[in-house]
Amino acid sequence: MRIFFIGCVQFSHFALKKLLSLQNENLQVVGIATKKKSDFNSDFYDLKQDIKNLPCLHVKDINDAQSLKFIHSLKPDIIYCFGWSSLIKKELLNSYPIIGFHPSKLPYNRGRHPIIWALFLNLKETGSSFFVMDKGADTGRILSQKSIKISSKDNAKSLYEKIAQKALKQIEYFTLKIYKKSLKNKDFKSILY
């Protein structure tokens, strides 16, 4: 199973490390797209500093011709997109199944700043949601979802860390499940639906 990874935030770093720890000769991260800098993400992280021997492209627009050519050249079976604030467009969505991540209990709290909103709205719980991306923002079939309790002592940092810990366990679980199914069936879209 050949995974291409897209991300540019602190959680992307944790998720990539988890995926790299799961690698074997048939389950591999084959390339990465990240950003060199971000004025938007307060938890920005350049993934290039994590890797030594993987193809990596710094991108401004994941949907531009250069990015698409780079991704296609690596022949991934599936794309993981964790920590990216712009929509993936039709050409990429139609080429590969893409798993996205959102730190909320989708469909609730879609969109930007879900952790801040969960605290501001005084929610008692939030979630960690992985989904098969479609053309919408934080929409698509839920692949894995877990609830996370919010305590009165939580702040944005502590809640971020709780969500990340839960999400890393989810990544390991569903990645290995998809991988095992792919040994029998190479049609990744049918595996995910």
What backbone phi and psi angles, to 5 degrees, belong to 92? -75, -40
Output the pTM of the full model. 0.89
Other Cβ atoms within 10 Å of 165 Cβ, number: 12
Rg value, the chain, Cα = 16
Q: Is the pLDDT of residue 66 over 80?
A: yes
pLDDT band at residue 5 under the 50/70/90 scheme: very high
Q: How sure is the predictor about 42, in pLDDT bands with cuts at 50, 70 and 90?
A: low
Question: What structural domains does the chain harbor?
Answer: 2-112+129-147+167-188 (3.40.50.170)
Query: pLDDT tens for residues 174-184?
Result: 999 998 888 77
pLDDT for 92: 95
> Residue 3 CB: number of other CB atoms within 10 A?
24
Q: What is the mean pLDDT of residues 28-50?
A: 73
